[in-house]
Chain A
Amino acid sequence: MSVEEQVKENAKQGKLLTHKCTNCGYLHLSTAYYCLKCGSKGFEDVFLDGTGTIATYTIITVAPAGFEKYTPYAFVVMLLDNVNLRISGFMANISTPADLPVGAKAKITGFDERGIIIERQ
């Protein structure tokens, strides 16, 4: 299974697959093939539970093709709990900034044609 397929399958279970460098311990998203810090190629899989807080986001009203039927929706960047890693994703049913304060708790809940799905907790 390709790296992207593994990310998808784990996200469908609400998990985030990450890669920890076996040389220096630095944690990456699993699409990294070489360590950002030490350049090493050895990684071990670490499965995170996909929870975090909203670092930033936007509410999109003019959407790319395929997303018109979901507007307004949020594209969010989430800081994962307990690690120095962020993950982006799609969040449905957000229409005003009052719906989603920066710092709100959120979680990966799936993966479909809208990419990684993140929901408020």
Chain B
Amino acid sequence: MEKVCVLGAGSTKYGKLADSIADITTQASVSAIESAGIEPKDIKASYISNVFGVADKQVHIGPVLMSRLGIPDKPSLTIESACGSGSVSFREAYANIAAGFYDCLIATGVEKVTHTGTEWTTTYFAYCSDFFYEGQAGASFPGLFASMARAYLTEFDATEEDFAKVAVKNHDNGVLNPKAHMQKKITIEDVMNSPVVASPLKLYDCCPFSDGASSVILCSEDFAKANGGDYIEVIGSGRGGSPAALQGREHLTTIPSTKIASEQAYKMAGITAKDIDFAEVHDCFTIAEVVDTEDLGFFEKGKGVQAVREDRTKLNSDISINPSGGLKSKGHPIGATGIGQVVEVFDQLTGKAGERTVRDAKIGLTHNFGATGASCAVHIFQSV
């Protein structure tokens, strides 16, 4: 297998954006190309992650992007894996470089949904569940994670205030990220007093619906060395699956796909969870971050809330979790999120993260899943 590197990265701001899905896809891609110091003609193919293109009247975005980049003859593939689309697409791009099919690829993720309004966005997202059992019975995504949260509160020594503290921490980080959707400090009281969306989750336990696009350039090590600019190396890649509906999981507070994907990635990298300096994890809801940090092996099952209580996951503490602000504060344009996490790792490991820099970081991890973790991908990166 060829070594795979990330050579450049770029994002639009996340939030409520006025430009079209095709425009923001192109903006992020151009930003990644310029960050890498390459020309579009160096790109041999594109991987596009997107879920609800139909909401902005543009599916099959790949050829539109390639046409705008002046390389309409180059192939593209659009990948949908719900909120995990970005990391799954990154994995496919990674595998194609590793296999030697291509020496340079672009992976761009995008979502444009905020114009549809909360009711329809909630409805579209519910289509990502096991619809016959969940969406059809009125389950929203906040509702499914709220069901996990209630199970966690029942099983372990945890409180709703503990979950609120995750939101406060991620907003603290997001304030330092100029691309973040919610650049606003909040308090535990703000979270506790925000309107209930699906009990026990309140509005500030939930990530926002966001528009946005993120893009990275992947290449072989030979290509990266010849290019001459900063790059980072992908040292681990794993994917896993879980029963699509929560009802089918052995434990209601464990996401099996995270465990499977991370164990594969750690094994490939020849490291353990203890070696990770910082992680961008899938905190679509505060409960998700707690569960993720346990399933990724950073903390024992049931102890994730204790780590939050003791500030062990804050920026530059034991392990910096979501230095970007995470989905909670940076925002969650679902097709872009998994790629956006790689953008953050690239910025962190190449000295471009500014005030939110994780000090002396050498190894970063990204964790991104679809739906309630029915599909998941984990990647591990190392500075060069």
Q: Which residue of A lies closest to B243 (CB)?
A: A36
Complex alpha-carbon distance, A115 and B261, angstroms: 32
**Nearest Cβ in chain B — how far from A93, in angstroms?**
13
Q: Tell me if B270 counts as interface (CB < 8 A to partner A).
A: no
Take A61-B196, A62-B197, A88-B245 as given contacts and tell me if A77 and B147 are in contact as well, using a CB distance cutoff of 8 Å.
yes
Q: Chain A residues near B140 (CB, 8 Å)?
A: 60, 62-64
Name the one of B123, B143, B151 contacting A60, with C-beta atoms under 8 angstroms.
B143
Contact, CB under 8 Å: A64 / B198: no
Q: Which residue of B lies closest to A61 (CB)?
A: B196
Contact, CB under 8 Å: A56 / B148: yes
One digit per residue, 1 when the CB lies within 8 angstroms of any chain B CB and 0 when it does not, for chain A 59-95 equals 1111111111010010101000000001111100000
- Tell me how many residues of B have a C-beta within 8 Å of chain A: 37
Complex alpha-carbon distance, A7 and B133, angstroms: 11
**Nearest Cβ in chain B — how far from A11, in angstroms?**
11
Q: Chain B residues near A70 (CB, 8 Å)?
A: 138
Most buried by A among B138, B201, B246: B138
Q: Which residue of A lies closest to B139 (CB)?
A: A75
Most buried by A among B147, B149, B247: B247
Which residues in window 47-74 of B have CB below 8 A to A?
Answer: none
Name the one of B118, B123, B147 contacting A57, with C-beta atoms under 8 angstroms.
B147
Contact, CB under 8 Å: A31 / B196: no
Complex alpha-carbon distance, A60 and B200, angstroms: 10
Q: Chain A residues near B197 (CB, 8 Å)?
A: 60-62
Contact, CB under 8 Å: A58 / B143: yes
Q: Tell me if B383 counts as interface (CB < 8 A to partner A).
A: no
One digit per residue, 1 when the CB lies within 8 angstroms of any chain A CB and 0 when it does not, for chain B 198-221 equals 111100000000000000000000
Contact, CB under 8 Å: A55 / B252: yes
Q: Chain B residues near A60 (CB, 8 Å)?
A: 138-140, 142-143, 146, 197-198
Complex alpha-carbon distance, A29 and B130, angstroms: 13
Q: Tell me if A114 counts as interface (CB < 8 A to partner B).
A: yes
Contact, CB under 8 Å: A64 / B134: no
Q: Tell me if B272 counts as interface (CB < 8 A to partner A).
A: no
Which residues in window 106-149 of B have CB below 8 A to A?
Answer: 118-120, 122-123, 126, 132-140, 142-144, 146-149
Most buried by A among B120, B133, B245: B133
Contact, CB under 8 Å: A75 / B247: no
Contact, CB under 8 Å: B135 / A64: yes
Take A63-B140, A67-B138, A87-B247 as given contacts and tell me if A75 and B147 are in contact as well, using a CB distance cutoff of 8 Å.
yes
Contact, CB under 8 Å: A75 / B119: no
Most buried by B among A59, A62, A65, A97: A62
Q: Which residue of B lies closest to A56 (CB)?
A: B151
Which residues in window 131-172 of B have CB below 8 A to A?
Answer: 132-140, 142-144, 146-151, 154
Query: Which 5 pairs of residues, A with B, have the shortest CB-CB distance?
Result: A115-B137, A58-B146, A115-B136, A86-B247, A56-B151
23 chain-A/chain-B pairs, Cβ below 8 angstroms? A55-B151, A57-B150, A58-B147, A58-B149, A58-B150, A58-B199, A62-B118, A63-B122, A63-B138, A64-B140, A65-B119, A65-B122, A75-B134, A77-B147, A77-B247, A87-B247, A88-B134, A88-B246, A89-B137, A97-B200, A102-B150, A102-B154, A115-B138
Chain A residues in the interface with B (C-beta under 8 A)? 4, 7, 29, 31, 55-68, 70, 73, 75, 77, 86-90, 97, 102, 114-116
Chain B residues in the interface with A (C-beta under 8 A)? 118-120, 122-123, 126, 132-140, 142-144, 146-151, 154, 195-201, 245-248, 252
